[in-house]
Structure 1
């Protein structure tokens, strides 16, 4: 239930995303961000705000733990759209890697989204987003965040 406690606090975030989230050959673009996360419900909830100063937008992630199913639901909201995106759902494995999956749309296409949390230490973590348009046969990793504690 305390899987996201590592994220509490302030972070500098180095971002890389593809210029086309569905094209694995598109160029990578790099930009900074700052994230602030807090713990709630005795570790069963986590909320963070991330600000992308050079992109002039921000986002919020709400993470909620379901003790009955022993899994997390992660909800993303963007300042650009003012909407809450469908959740990705999953858990952390014995190896400390968290994998979360959900259905969504991107650029008018149905996609399967995957978030992966890995490389978690006291002072660093890595998050990756990938999309599949073919029922998880192939994935395009399209956004990577490298977190460094402030």
Structure 2
């Protein structure tokens, strides 16, 4: 059962190795890999947190707001990109041991799907985030999308977190 301290492992500074598909819906698309830096700060005595990830390779930063619903005993995770400045629809779920799974719905603009006029068409997707292999020194996160209501998934982004080393002064 989830608790307000499920994400305590994430507090602090991290180095992140990203691996992301070049097309989020195509299981045969290539991968790009790039580093990032990340920090997370607790709020509400651990029942909430906010983080920021800096991804110079993408020319963007991301922010996640996580809130623990005390009555439902579940987390909602809302992501925002510095490119849009808006919150994406949340994914909701929790942890069972050291594995967390969170689901939600979103609409993905898809550059390969076009109207007869040539403009990109959006595609409704089911979203899944998984946190696994959680420890004080490392963690793994991945994102997958489904276009068939969760029958099949395309894992399209993974992040391996490792604790940042203190800088020598």
TM norm structure 2: 0.87
Unaligned runs of 5+ in 1: none
CA deviation vs aligned residue, 1:41-71 (integer Å, no higher than 9, x gap): 0110011000001211001000000010000
Match of 1:57 in 2: 60
Count of residue correspondences: 149
Match of 1:76 in 2: 79
Q: Secondary structure at the match of 1:54?
A: helix
Within-5 A mapping of 1:64-103 = 64-94=67-97, 96-103=98-105
Return the match for 1:5 from 5, 8, 18. 8
Match of 2:163 in 1: 149
CA distance in 2, matches of 1:55, 1:28: 14
How many angstroms does 1:27 deviate by?
0.3
1:120 to 2:134 alignment: yes
CA deviation vs aligned residue, 1:89-142 (integer Å, no higher than 9, x gap): 000013x10000000011210000000000001100000000000010100000
Unaligned runs of 5+ in 2: 110-121, 165-169
**Dislocated runs of 4+, deviation >3 Å:** none
CA deviation vs aligned residue, 1:8-61 (integer Å, no higher than 9, x gap): 000000000000000011001001100010011011001100000121100100
Aligned CA-pair RMSD = 0.6
TM norm structure 1: 0.98
Match of 2:143 in 1: 129
Larger radius of gyration: 2
